[in-house]
Structure 1
Amino acid sequence: MNSDYAVIPVNSSVELQNQNNAASLEIPNPKIQSKEFPGEQNIDESDEIDGVPLIFDGDLRPETLGSGVPGAVFNLATSVIGAGIMALPAAMKVLGIGFGFVSIILMGILSEISIEILVRFSVLCKSTSYGEVVQSALGRPMRLLSEICIIINNAGVLVVYLIIIGDVMSGSLKHTGVFDQLFGNGVWDHRKMVILIVLIIFLAPLCALEKIDSLSLSSAASVALAVVFVVVSCIVASIKLAEGTIEKPRFGPDLGSKSTILDLLVVIPIMTNAYVCHFNVQPIYNELDGRSPQKMNRVGRITTVLCVVIYAATAISGYLLFGDDTESDVLTNFDRKLGAEFSIILNYIVRIGYVLHLVLVFPVIHFSLRQTVDALIFTKSVLDDKKKALPLTVVLLAVIYLTSTVIPNIWTAFKFTGATTGLSLGFIFPALIALRLDKQGKSLSDGERRLSWFMLVLAVVVSIIGVAGNIISLKNKSE
């Protein structure tokens, strides 16, 4: 192939250097089959990899690229920080501050390593999506399985978002809604109607955007709102610590009771699932200006540090504030007095700010959901055609809305997806990709190979423990 780019090997990754400003660009054929493994792509590092937006199939316009490192960081961080952040204080209650804090750091490091593995082999295989790199390593059936995991995981997350938005604004059986506290009883008590209005006015326009880079500003705002929640929680917790009104926290799990051990089985998947954002790595990389594996790795590392700080601060401050009364969704704890000055105002800031955060996170998760459904159902992508892409977006939003209205509480289901699809996307598939392709390309060092095996075994064990814990928990509740 006559390409305008020359390959420059840098360690185990591949970078591109533009040799001239030729007007025409060629896309390498990503469907070259490996002779050693059926269904695998050729991953020879001497292959040429064009520095063009692989996500496009038709008219290539490099000038449309513009996502810098900050925008990519915000989009990736938004994919990480979602509804799961509100379960971390309850996880900290079970694990204790010391063990919980260490778990947050370790899971962040492992997740970042798995992202770098995914980026490396995506570039070597010329893959434009999560499913494509899975197919390169594991074949077409495993790609279908990975895409089904993405659809289940992302659709479940979006349903949770809508339910939380409705509960916070309209209230539920467990707590009073913001509208009730501000205006008393009224039409806003109807959760289904509130969710529908939010979906039509705020979520649908954002979900209709064609490129994930278009969500950079909203992603930055969502991260800022998450920081607001952290700052408020930390300030109130610090005030109560200074006043001596906070109970002494535990620094490790309490293994003295059967119920606590059962809680550990349920909580562990929440911690391992906290950083799953891998389904959005390829779309973000595709739109990264001057993209290279090294630049995307920098995006991943900055995102990990940011998320570790936010997660640790949220988990610790939330647990310190409410102690053993911390609920599975800590947001429900904020409908009561916090025991500090201006606590009512702070409660409104926390809850409304979190709802806005979910509104801005929603389209980022929806983007990868829509892209995966498109790849799974249609032989030719419909996302390049606005007239066809819009109906697909409307159908997905309608299904998500209807599901949120018939399921009153899906936290248990959310824990199941975390123990299955979340762990599969974040650790099992990346580890399998690395180990499988290493047999052909020999791209892993001994340390990376051992680490891949460790991630694979850890994810499988945690998944089994999580599913078993949820089944036992459901059985106990039904008795």
Structure 2
Amino acid sequence: MGEDCAAGLCGYKQHRCDDCLHDYHCDVLSGTSSGGIHHRGILEGWFGAHLWNSRAIVLLVTTLFVFAPLVSFKRLDSLSYTSALSVALAVVFVVITAGIAIIKVINGTVAMPKLFPEIDDLSSVWKLFTAVPVLVTAYICHYNVHSIDNELEDKTQTKPIVRTSLALCSSVYIATSFFAYLLFGDGTLDDVLANFDSNLGIPFSSVFNDVVRVSYAAHVMLVFPIVFFALRLNLDGLLFPTSRHISYDNKRFTIITISLLVVIYTAAIFIPSIWDAFQFTGATAAVLIGFIFPAMVILRDPYGIATKRDKILAVTMIVLAVVSNSVALYSDAMNIFRRKEVA
């Protein structure tokens, strides 16, 4: 059970690292294509399309000169300032998006977005389930709690820190989705950053577009080492359960770090879409970590402290997770096959 949890956690966090790399480079810096339309990245918009600002080259350069130094720290508290800066950049992204949306609402240049989805047939119902894995992925972050708790001098700060973090993240998620949908309406893309490559209908539109995308790119860049830290720690525990802590073994630390960077870099190049990545990650690893594994721990109940109500809730949680995400996986796969047939 413990090894299964560790393996699932490692796989999930590798996907999260892949998603960070893909979103940061391909969608923000190098551009992306959606529905047959190419959305220019920051570098492509500034300098035009060249070999040096293609996906693979940009990934390679920033992996070597940005991510590699950041993931070389052996303690999580060494990333405290970069983490704080990443939160500030996320707030900047939300504030600018909200400001633009409010200005356009005041000017009357924003159409009323649809409040409910269009359900024409059974396939439309199945498509609704594809949003569930993405939401689940956003809230699976508890694997960092133990690492943070181990480095806190005052253990009583753990609960307030976790609650504050969840409240802050939830506020950013809700504000981003609300104002982005208000701003772009039915034209909101899977990756909302791709919407910021056109005229927003306000003064200095191109400047705001670049500020939004640069701030988010920097935010993702600074989030990456936090996810990577937990991935490396858990992978080491899975492969070397009886060895001393990885921070005391420079050789093992270096080999695992370089190996993970190579695997993540390679996987990030071939990810077709950030939406597809989050859907499949959320419907598999995230569901296991967030719902199924915790429920299995309750059902196993090695200390005999779980009540009958706890076990009923655990079984219900497993059934709901399996059913809803089986539907989501089926819908995701069918959507990908349909896109290939159209292409």
TM-score normalised by L of structure 1: 0.65
1:120 maps to none
Q: Which of 129, 140, 152 matches 2:11?
A: 152
- For residues 160-190 of structure 1, the C-alpha deviation after alignment (integer angstroms, 9 at most, x for no partner) is 2222222221224421121222223445332
Q: Deviations over 1:182-221 (max 9, x none)?
A: 2234453322111111111111111011111211111111
Percent same amino acid among aligned pairs?
38
Select which of 58, 71, 78 maps to 1:207: 71
Q: Find runs of 4+ consecutive structure 1 residues off by over 6 angstroms.
A: none
Cα 1:449–1:220 change in 2 (3 A) is farther
What is the one-letter code of the residue matched to 2:186? D
Q: Which moved more, 1:282-291 or 1:415-424?
A: 282-291
d(CA) in 1 for partners of 2:62 and 2:158?
34
Offset at residue 468 of structure 1 (A): 2.2
Aligned to 2:178: 316
For the pair shown, the structure with the greater C-alpha radius of gyration is 1
One-letter code aligned to 1:335 = D
2:125 pairs with 1:266: no
**Structure with higher RCO (Cα < 8 A, 6+ apart):** 2
Counterpart of 1:278, as a letter, is H
1:137-166 deviation line (CA, Å, top 9, x unaligned): xxxxx2222122122211112122222222
In 2, distance between residues paired with 1:302 and 1:270? 22
Post-superposition offset of 1:426: 1.4
Tell me the distance in 1 between the aligned counterparts of 2:80 and 2:92.
Answer: 18
Query: TM (normalized to structure 2)?
Result: 0.89
Contact 1:158 1:362 in 2 (8 A): yes
1:88-135 Cα offsets, whole Å, 9 max, x none, are xxxxxxxxxxxxxxxxxxxxxxxxxxxxxxxxxxxxxxxxxxxxxxxx
Q: Does 1:374 align with 2:233?
A: no
Query: CA deviation digits over 1:206-252, x for unaligned, max 9?
Result: 10111112111111111111111111111111111112222212333
Distance 2:339 2:56 in 1: 27
Match of residue 170 from structure 1: 30
The reply to whether residue 302 of structure 1 matches residue 302 of structure 2 is no
- Higher relative helix content: 2
Once the two structures are overlaid, the 10-residue window that deviates more, 178-187 or 216-225, is 178-187
- Distance between the aligned counterparts of 1:241 and 1:218, measured in 2? 35
Q: Is the 8 A contact 2:71 2:225 kept in 1?
A: yes
Question: Are residue 429 (structure 1) and residue 288 (structure 2) matched?
Answer: no
Q: Secondary structure at the match of 2:113?
A: coil
**Which stretches in structure 2 are left out of the alignment for 5+ residues?**
none
Tell me how far 1:432 sits from its aligned partner: 2.4
Q: Which amino acid is the alignment partner of residue 464 of structure 1? A: S
Question: Does structure 2 retain, via aligned residues, the 8 Å contact 1:212–1:283?
Answer: yes
Partner Cα separation in structure 1 for residue 330 and residue 50 of structure 2: 43
Alpha-carbon distance in 1 for matches of 2:84, 2:20: 18
Question: What's the CA shift for 1:406?
Answer: 3.8
User: Contact 2:191–2:274 at 8 Å: present in 1 too?
Assistant: no
Distance across 2 between alignment mates of 1:170 and 1:287: 37
Residue in 2 that maps onto 1:13: none
Cα pair 2:42 2:210 within 8 Å, conserved: yes
SS at match of 1:373: helix
Question: After superposition, what is the alpha-carbon deviation per residue over 1:364-394, rounded to whole angstroms, capped at 9, x for unaligned?
Answer: 0001110111011124144321233122111
- Structure 2 contact 25–59 (Cα < 8 Å) conserved: yes
Per the alignment, residue 9 of structure 1 pairs with none
1:412 is matched with: 276
**2:215 match:** 353
1:471 to 319, 322, 333: 333
Tell me the residue number matched to 2:303: 440
Supply the AA of the counterpart residue of 2:191.
D
Q: Matches of residues 101-250 of structure 1 in structure 2 within 5 Å?
A: 142-167=1-26, 168-173=28-33, 174-250=38-114
Q: Aligned-pair distance for 1:410?
A: 5.5
Give deviations 1:332-367, integer Å, cap 9, x for gaps.
111111112222111001111111011101000001
1:284 and 2:160 are equivalent in the alignment: no
Structure 1: stretches of 5+ with no match in the other structure: 1-141
CA positional deviation for 1:435: 3.9
Partner of residue 226 from structure 2, selected from 364, 386, 389: 364
8 A contact 1:269–1:462 mirrored in 2: no
CA distance in 2, matches of 1:474, 1:172: 17
Letter in 2 for 1:161: C
Contact conserved, 2:114 with 2:186, CA < 8 A, in 1?
Answer: no
Aligned residue in 2 for 1:252: 116
Q: Which moved more, 1:260-269 or 1:307-316?
A: 260-269
Listed one character per residue, the Cα deviations across residues 14-73 of structure 1 (whole Å, up to 9, x for unaligned) are xxxxxxxxxxxxxxxxxxxxxxxxxxxxxxxxxxxxxxxxxxxxxxxxxxxxxxxxxxxx
Deviations 1:252-301 (A, max 9, x none): 33323455323202112212332001222211121122214xx4222221
2:261 pairs with 1:397: yes
